[in-house]
């Protein structure tokens, strides 16, 4: 299954009446992400600042940055899917220009995750934005 776009995710979440249903949708999105091979789960690929273990692998493919991510926590894997919908296979300029704060606000996400999960989410976003800036 291919991930929906960030806009499609926003629209999909509007259909759910409560956050239990939204969490389940986010978890299901995470299940659609391929798992990283254990050989990629190395200390240098570990994103610092996350409560759970999160690994990020990046590569330039033509003009776009491609990311592979994984986590040892189910909900975090879902949150990673939200981030991948925004950033994966985009040019560095598109990544830098994307309004991630506006996206998270539209999802109403940060009010519904713990502060430590929010900090972890910010750490992942920061890592991806820094990588994009290096390639820009």
Catalytic residues: 50
Strand-pairing partners, residue 57, are: 68
Strand-pairing partners, residue 68, are: 57
The span from the CA of 104 to the CA of 126, in Å, is 14
* 52 neighbors 76 (Cβ within 8 angstroms): yes
3-state secondary structure 40-79: HCCHHHECCCCCCCEEEEEEEECCEEEEEEEECCHHHHHH
């Amino acid at each position: 299954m291919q991930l929906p776009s960030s806009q499609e995710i926003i629209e999909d979440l509007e259909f759910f009446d409560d956050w239990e249903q939204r969490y389940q949708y986010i978890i299901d999105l995470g299940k659609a992400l391929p798992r990283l091979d254990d050989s990629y789960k190395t200390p240098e690929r570990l994103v610092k600042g996350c409560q759970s273990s999160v690994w990020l692998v990046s590569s330039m493919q033509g003009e776009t940055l491609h990311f592979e991510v994984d986590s040892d926590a189910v909900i975090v894997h879902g949150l990673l899917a939200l981030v991948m919908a925004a950033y994966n296979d985009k040019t560095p300029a598109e990544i830098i220009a994307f309004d991630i704060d506006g996206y998270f606000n539209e999802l109403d996400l940060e009010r519904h995750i713990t502060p430590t999960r929010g900090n972890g989410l910010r750490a992942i976003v920061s890592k991806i934005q820094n990588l994009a800036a290096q390639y820009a």
